[in-house]
Amino acid sequence: MKRAQEFIGPNPAWADILGEERRGTLILYEYVVPDGDEPWEGYYAPWARVSPVDTASSLFVLAYYRDNKKWQDLEVAGHLEECLQAIKDNVYNVFFYKS
């Protein structure tokens, strides 16, 4: 988690993102405010997951949380920073958009 925080830094695009580490997996949640609701009525919804594939070589795979409430692995595998960069770059157009 500390490596992720250091990599992201004080980036305002990530201001509404909450991170949690569970057994080596980094799960990111996006703050969602339903249409017509007040900001305080929002909630955190699963958004991205960076899971270890090979702990010996520190390789991870990136997934996003689909509308059908299932994780979908993306074709992004690499070190933690590479997966976070793929989120920043929105390589599959599933991150950092508002409907």
Q: Is residue 94 part of a domain?
A: no
- Which range of residues forms the domain containing residue 79? 2-89
Q: How many domains does the chain have?
A: 1
Q: Is residue 98 part of a domain?
A: no
pLDDT mean over 4-21: 86
Give pTM, 2 decimals. 0.85
- Running DSSP on this structure, what letter comes out for residue 44? E
pLDDT mean over 59-71: 92
Tens digit of each residue's pLDDT (9 = 90 or more) over 29-54: 999 999 999 999 999 999 999 999 98
Q: Which carries the bigger pLDDT value, residue 10 or residue 83?
A: 83
Q: Is residue 96 part of a domain?
A: no
Mean pLDDT of the chain: 89
Q: Please state, in angstroms and rounded to a whole number, the distance separating the CA atoms of residues 81 and 16.
A: 19
The pLDDT assigned to 68 comes to 84
Token reading at 62: 């990136």
